[in-house]
Amino acid sequence: MPKISFEKIVKAERTVVFDIAANYKNFQKTLPKYFPSIRVRSVRDNVAVVEEHIRISGKVLVMMTKHVTKYPELHEVFVIGGDAKGSHIIERYESVKEGTKITVEADLKLRGPLKLVAFFGKAKIQKGFVKIMDEFAKIAEK
């Protein structure tokens, strides 16, 4: 399955970027084009279980996820059910002189027909993730 990684520099303070890009509670309001549905099922300290639909590369993935945050430097997503069960996404936020460097590493485990899409469309999937982070960056840089 595809393993993707990329870096992005955002011209904004780390806490501002983290507050937008790792705020899973507001994904549906912030980027409804990419997150048509978000339902927070439970929250305990820095761990949340979330039911989410994410549109990436023209496909909608339905997933149950566990979000773990370490403010303001780390946001991890473990997919515990659904179309991408077993996937793991790590977002690191680092202060740099230009603003904030975001490093994303994702190990995706897609199922069913999506498995074929992943096999032939790794670049397309990575481009989809980059587009989402670009949108978060635009909001943070305002």
Mean pLDDT of 13-42: 96
Q: What pLDDT sits at residue 126?
A: 81
Cα 125 from chain centre? 12
Structural domain boundaries in the chain? 3-140
Mean pLDDT of 109-133: 72
More confident residue, 142 or 86: 86
70 pLDDT band, cuts 50/70/90, is: very high
Do residues 43 and 114 lie in contact, with contact meaning Cβ atoms separated by under 8 Å? Answer: no
Least confident range of 66-75, 84-93, 95-104, 119-128: 119-128
Residue 27 has pLDDT above 90, yes or no: yes
CA–CA distance, 15 with 89 (Å, rounded to integer):
20
Q: Which fold has domain 3-140?
A: Alpha-D-Glucose-1,6-Bisphosphate; Chain A, domain 4 (3.30.530)
Residue 120 has pLDDT above 50, yes or no: no
**pLDDT > 70: what percent of the chain?**
92
The pTM (predicted TM-score) of the whole model is 0.90
Residues 6+ apart with CB under 8 A from 31: 132, 135, 136
* Residue 2 preceded by cis peptide, ω within 30: no
Do residues 36 and 52 lie in contact, with contact meaning Cβ atoms separated by under 8 Å? Answer: no
Do residues 36 and 53 lie in contact, with contact meaning Cβ atoms separated by under 8 Å? Answer: yes
